[in-house]
Amino acid sequence: MTEAAVEKKFVDGLKALGCLVWKFVSPGNAGAPDRLVVLPTGRVYFVELKQETGRTSALQQLQHKRLREHNADVAVLYGAEDVAMFIRYIASSLQGGGE
């Protein structure tokens, strides 16, 4: 599955659950995660999407660490399988199964 197809699956799957899914751009903060996901409950996730064989750069790892130090939820998803698992996790949490 192409990277574009994986990203479309991610966006479409989360929007179907009522989430806001925004491309995240933060000028002056290189390495910031790709996506901002806001659940209907108000919970926010910063999400980095990678190909199955992708790697996070040192700068991305630093930005993820900084976000986590501020109690932010950060997810790094590798390929279609991780995207599907994340969507199932969010669906479950919205149904009262883990949020």
What is the tens place of the pLDDT at every residue in 51-89? Answer: 899 899 999 999 999 999 999 999 999 999 999 999 999
What domain count does the chain have?
1
Any domain includes 99: no
CATH classification of the domain holding 37? 3.40.1350.10
pTM: 0.91
**Does residue 44 belong to any structural domain of this protein?**
yes
The pLDDT, as a whole number, for residue 35 is 96
What gap in Å lies between CA 2 and CA 20, rounded to an integer?
23
Domain assignment of residue 11, yes or no? yes
Which range marks the domain in which residue 23 is found? 3-94
Mean pLDDT over all residues of the chain?
Answer: 94
What six digits make up the tokens of 86?
A: 């994340």
